[in-house]
Amino acid sequence: MTIADSILAEVNQEAETTKRVLDCVPADKLAWRPHPKSFSLGQLALHIAVAPGAVAEGALPDTMEAPFFAQAQPQNLQEIQDAFSAGLQRVKAALNQMDDARMNATWTLTRNGKALMSMPRTGFIRSIMLNHIYHHRGQLSAYLRLLDVPLPSIYGPSADTNPFI
C-alpha cells in the first residue's frame, strides 16, 4: 500500500462521518454565527466541504504561494453538499498523482517568494488537509449543539445518537 493509498482510505472513512455532520446543518441557520469574529455556520460548513480538495491540489507542486483566504457564504445546503462531493473528487485526483517519493519530498509554502514553512508533503497533507478539517468538524458540531441540533455519532455515541445499540 502506498502513502497515498493509506491517506485515501482515511479520507474515505472520514468522509462518511463528515457527511453525517454536514447533513445536520439547518438550511435556515446558514448565516448564524456564535460570535461576531466567528465564521457563520454556512461559511464553516462550506470551508469543511472545499478545503480538502484545495489543499490536495495545493500539495501537487513543490512550492505554493500562500493564499489570502476569505470564505464565501453559501446560499443554500445544496451548494455545501455539491462542494463536498466535488472536493472529495479533487482530493482523490490529486493524491492519485503522487507516488511515495513525491509524498516524502519537501513541500514549501511561500509568501512573496519567502518560505513560510517547509515539510515533507505527507506532513502537509496530514496536518492541513486531514487534521485541520477534523478540527473544523469539531467546531461545526459545537455550533450545531449551540443551535440545539441533534448530533450524529462521530467517533462513538453522541448525546443524541448511539450507533452501538
Tens of pLDDT, residue by residue over 50-92, are: 999 999 999 999 999 998 888 999 999 999 999 999 999 999 9
CA pair distance 72, 89, nearest whole angstrom:
20
Q: What pLDDT is recorded for position 81?
A: 98
What residues contact residue 87 under an 8 Å CB cut-off, 6+ apart? 49, 50, 51, 52, 53, 54
Separation of alpha carbons 13 and 22, rounded Å: 15
Report which DSSP code applies to 76.
S
> What torsion do the CA atoms of 85, 109, 107, 3 make, to the nearest 10 degrees?
-30
What's the CA gap between 39 and 9, in Å, rounded?
A: 29
Residues of the chain with pLDDT under 50: none
Instruction: Confirm if 118 and 106 have CB atoms less than 8 A apart.
Output: yes
Which pTM value belongs to this model? 0.94
What pLDDT, on the 0 to 100 scale, is given for residue 163? 84
Q: How far is CA 22 from CA 16, 57, 79, 110, 136, in A?
A: 10, 22, 12, 32, 11
pLDDT for position 5: 97
pLDDT at res. 143:
98
Task: Catalogue all structural domains in the chain, each as residue range(s) with its CATH number.
Answer: 3-146 (1.20.120.450)
Q: Dump strand ranges (E) for 32-135.
A: 63-65, 106-111, 114-120
* pLDDT recorded at residue 70: 87
**CA torsion angle for 126, 9, 163, 143 (degrees, to 10)?**
30
